[in-house]
């Protein structure tokens, strides 16, 4: 059952999403060759608690850490460890926060030092596909419209769209209805209505769409060992239109990236 949120509940969700956004912004300054994903995880947990939140993933389905840390060929759900990141790696960081009974849940794939042009393009196209999907999340459209838009754009670039893992409704539960696949058919699936809140999260592989899982029961990686990217935003439907609750602006501030990619999805000004 889809849980529609009131305007007040959406503002609480924005608060949770912004703590995740700020956590990713803090991490943007720390992602560099030599740092371990476990060290980043510890920083994130402290930061989240200092901001009045609780790590949303820690203990969820028995996940052992605060961040999902998925380098290179890992798609999602990687477990932080003591292996240092290396020049040319990419690292997908997925972060969840629970505050005021509502979850925030978003993700960004960072470059570690200088990455190959091929990988850079994978990240750029995956992030672009996220906004192409978000644009379809509006009243009257359906789940399949978002999935179709992401899949079409991604496959036109020759990349693999992961099927086994999908976006989702978000609220008092980390995973609510509806499922939000990154593939689909136009006009199919559940209809979007005012007050819906979701996480849209393309998981895009440079090569095959096929994945496998490590014996740890968590880590998902590409079947061909090629890199995978993951970008995730939290969005509500307000006034019939997609409104971003999360932001990559804190990351961009640290990395010195100028972007207006979020402007069209923001009816409420971003608080500093
Ligand atoms: Mg996530
Ligand atoms: Mg998610």
pLDDT digits (tens, 9 = 90+) for 203-249: 999 999 999 999 999 999 999 999 999 999 999 999 999 999 999 99
Q: Is a pLDDT exceeding 70 seen at residue 272?
A: no
CA 18 from centre of chain: 13
Q: How confident is the model at residue 82 (pLDDT cuts 50, 70, 90)?
A: very high
Condensed to tens digits (0 to 9), the pLDDT of residues 18-48 reads 999 999 999 999 999 999 999 999 999 999 9
Tell me what the mean pLDDT of segment 95-101 comes to.
98
| CA dihedral angle for residue 31, residue 34, residue 36, residue 39, rounded to 10 degrees | -70
Q: How far is the CA of 44 from the centre of ligand 2 (A)?
A: 17
Q: How far is the CA of 45 from the centre of ligand 1 (A)?
A: 15
Give me the pLDDT at residue 260, please: 95
Q: Is a pLDDT exceeding 90 seen at residue 271?
A: no
Ligand nearest to the backbone CA of 180: 2
Ligand nearest to the backbone CA of 96: 1
Q: How far is the CA of 247 from the centre of ligand 2 (A)?
A: 15
Ligand nearest to the backbone CA of 109: 1
Token couple for 237: 């439907």
Alpha-carbon distance values, 82 to 3, 77, 222, 265 (Å): 39, 16, 22, 38
Three-state DSSP at 35 gives coil
Q: How far is the CA of 97 from the centre of ligand 1 (A)?
A: 10
Q: Is a pLDDT exceeding 80 seen at residue 77?
A: yes
Q: How far is the CA of 175 from the centre of ligand 2 (A)?
A: 7
Beta-bridge mates of residue 84:
36
Condensed to tens digits (0 to 9), the pLDDT of residues 152-179 reads 999 999 999 999 999 999 999 999 999 9
Q: How far is the CA of 170 from the centre of ligand 2 (A)?
A: 8
Q: How confident is the model at residue 268 (pLDDT cuts 50, 70, 90)?
A: confident
Q: How far is the CA of 153 from the centre of ligand 1 (A)?
A: 21
| Cα gap 34→86, rounded to integer Å | 6
Domain-by-domain residue ranges, the chain? 7-265
Q: How far is the CA of 197 from the centre of ligand 2 (A)?
A: 12
Q: How far is the CA of 71 from the centre of ligand 1 (A)?
A: 15
Beta-bridge mates of residue 224:
none
211: how many CB neighbours lie within 10 A of its CB?
22
Tell me what the mean pLDDT of segment 183-199 comes to.
98
CA 72 from centre of chain: 16
Q: How far is the CA of 57 from the centre of ligand 1 (A)?
A: 9
Contact 5, 13 (CB under 8 A): yes
Q: Is a pLDDT exceeding 80 seen at residue 140?
A: yes
Please identify, in words, the CATH class of the domain defined by 7-265: alpha beta
Q: Structure pTM?
A: 0.97
Give me the pLDDT at residue 148, please: 98
The closest alpha carbon to 182, from 134, 241, 228, 111, belongs to 134
Percent of the chain surpassing pLDDT 90: 98
Condensed to tens digits (0 to 9), the pLDDT of residues 15-26 reads 999 999 999 999
Q: How far is the CA of 180 from the centre of ligand 2 (A)?
A: 10
Alpha-carbon distance values, 167 to 55, 137, 177 (Å): 19, 12, 10
């Amino acid at each position: 059952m889809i849980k529609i949120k009131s305007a007040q509940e959406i503002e609480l969700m924005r608060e949770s999403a912004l703590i995740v956004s700020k956590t990713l912004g803090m991490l943007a300054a720390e992602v560099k060759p030599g740092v371990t994903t476990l060290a980043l995880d510890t920083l994130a947990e402290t930061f989240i608690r200092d901001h009045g939140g609780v790590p949303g993933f820690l203990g969820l389905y028995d996940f052992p850490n605060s961040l999902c840390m998925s380098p290179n060929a890992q798609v999602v759900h990687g477990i932080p460890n003591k292996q240092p990141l290396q020049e040319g790696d990419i690292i997908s960081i997925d972060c969840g926060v629970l505050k005021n009974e509502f979850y925030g849940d978003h993700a960004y794939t960072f470059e570690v030092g200088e990455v190959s042009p091929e990988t850079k393009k994978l990240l750029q196209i995956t992030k672009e596909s996220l906004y192409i999907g978000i644009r379809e999340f509006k009243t009257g459209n359906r789940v399949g419209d978002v999935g179709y838009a992401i899949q079409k754009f991604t496959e036109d670039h020759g990349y693999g769209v992961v099927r086994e893992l999908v976006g989702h409704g978000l609220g008092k539960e980390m995973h609510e209805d509806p499922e939000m696949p990154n593939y689909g058919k136009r006009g199919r699936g559940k209809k979007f209505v005012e007050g819906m809140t979701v996480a849209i999260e393309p998981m895009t592989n440079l090569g095959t769409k096929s994945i496998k899982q490590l014996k740890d029961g968590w880590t998902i990686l590409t079947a061909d060992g090629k890199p995978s990217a993951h970008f995730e935003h939290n969005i509500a439907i307000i006034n019939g239109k997609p409104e971003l609750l999360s932001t990559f602006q804190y990351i961009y501030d640290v990395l010195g990236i100028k972007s207006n990619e979020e402007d069209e999805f923001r009816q409420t000004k971003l608080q500093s």
